[in-house]
Amino acid sequence: MYKGKKFILFISFLVILLILGISLIKFQEKPLKIIMLNIGQGDAIYIETPNGNNMLIDAGRDRTVMHELGDVMPINKKTIDFIEVSNPDLDHIGGFPFVMEKYKVREILSPGTKHDSLDSYKAIEKIAKEDKIPVIRPKTGDIIMIDNKSAITYKILWPEGNVSNWEVNAGSMVGLLEYSGHKILFTGDAPKEVEDQIILKYGASLKDIDILKVGHHGSKTSTGEALTMIARPKYSIISAGLNNRYGHPHEETLDMLNLVHSKILITANDGRIVCKVWIKKETVCI
């Protein structure tokens, strides 16, 4: 009888351990993921929230983005909640038609700048019209809820108004992703002049950035001293092709980021860059 009781107690103990283990797995914190895809000379950033919502900011110049998405997206995921065209240059939009043909896109964010001469631009418009995908042109101050449950928001800092006929870099969309006190700044190809306008309006919000998507692939025309000094990003991530003809990223930009002790990661050297933003842990980019 005594041995029987010991056995029952032992089994009960194992069951309790199992229940606790399952509970820990179930309630283990999932991070917000910011993944700069390795697509060569261009931009493509995949965002996945703790609850599985997602966003793709730019898509590189060709179908290379499809291989990258295949590696980072859950295999059963067939939907992208938001795609953002930060600006309509080929190195930002060339991959979007391939993405839109494979994945169901719920909404397109666009600053409204145009590049009618590009086949990719025309293809995006055509697919959006055929699939009845809403094309939203948010303006400065608009806030987009990326994940209601985790309260992840995307605040538009630029453009300020109608930029349909602007030079595309000056009309780039700039957005601030916020999650439980953490801040990730996406700058497209916005030049220093635009950065200065954003600082005038949103300077307080730009202090102590966790992750900075460095503007214009690290060009010296972006990521000026004013923005760098106020943002002081913990991590600076740069998408640039190996041995690209533009010399991106420029030494001036890297020197400025080093001055504030930002850890710099560049796709040309580091390949795909994966950042994880936690509530209870330190943000990490590798």
Which band of pLDDT confidence, cut at 50, 70 and 90, is reported for residue 24? Answer: very low
- For residue 154, what are the β-bridge partners? 144, 177
Q: How many CB atoms lie under 10 A from the CB of residue 17?
A: 10
pLDDT at residue 116 greater than cutoff 60: yes
Indicate the pLDDT class of residue 14, thresholds 50, 70 and 90. low
| Integer Cα distance of 159 and 198 in angstroms | 9
pLDDT of residue 17: 52
Instruction: Please state the pTM of the whole predicted model.
Output: 0.90
Confidence (pLDDT) at 10: 59
Q: What pLDDT does residue 230 have?
A: 98
3-state secondary structure string across 32-76? EEEEECCCCCCCCEEEECCCCCEEEECCCCCCHHHHHHHHHCCCC
Q: Are 61 and 244 in contact (CB under 8 A)?
A: no
Quick: pLDDT tens for 261-272.
999 999 999 999
Percent of the chain residues past pLDDT 70, beyond the cut: 91
What is residue 187's DSSP assignment?
-
pLDDT tops 90 at residue 49: yes
**CA 144 to centroid of chain Cα atoms:** 14
Question: Residue 22's pLDDT is what?
Answer: 44
pLDDT tens digits, 190-242: 999 999 999 999 999 999 999 999 999 999 999 999 999 999 999 999 999 99
pLDDT (average), residues 1-28: 55
Across the range 245-256, mean pLDDT stands at: 98
Q: Which residue, chain included where needed, has tokens 């080093």?
A: 258
Judged against a pLDDT cut of 60, whether residue 1 lies above it is answered with no
What's the rounded Cα separation, in Å, for the pair 120 and 106? 19
Q: Which amino acid is at 27?
A: F
pLDDT band of residue 28 (cuts 50, 70, 90) is: confident
Return the DSSP state at 216: G
What residues does 236 pair with on adjacent strands?
Answer: 212, 264
Q: Is the pLDDT of residue 26 over 90?
A: no
Query: Is pLDDT above 50 for 113?
Result: yes
The answer, yes or no, to whether residue 21 has pLDDT greater than 50, is no
The predicted pLDDT at position 2 comes to 53
Alpha helices in the chain (DSSP H): 2-27, 64-72, 90-93, 96-102, 119-130, 192-202, 225-231, 251-259, 267-270
19 has a pLDDT exceeding 90:
no
| Tally of CB atoms within 10 A around 67 | 11
Q: Which helix (H) or strand (E) holds 184?
A: strand 182-186
Q: Quickly state the pLDDT bin for 9 (edges 50, 70, 90).
A: low
Residue range 134-170, pLDDT digits in tens:
999 999 999 999 999 999 999 999 999 899 989 999 9
Secondary structure (H, E, C), 147-160: ECCCCEEEEEEECC
| Position 16 confidence tier, pLDDT thresholds 50, 70, 90 | low
Contacts of 201 (CB under 8 A, 6+ apart): 140, 157
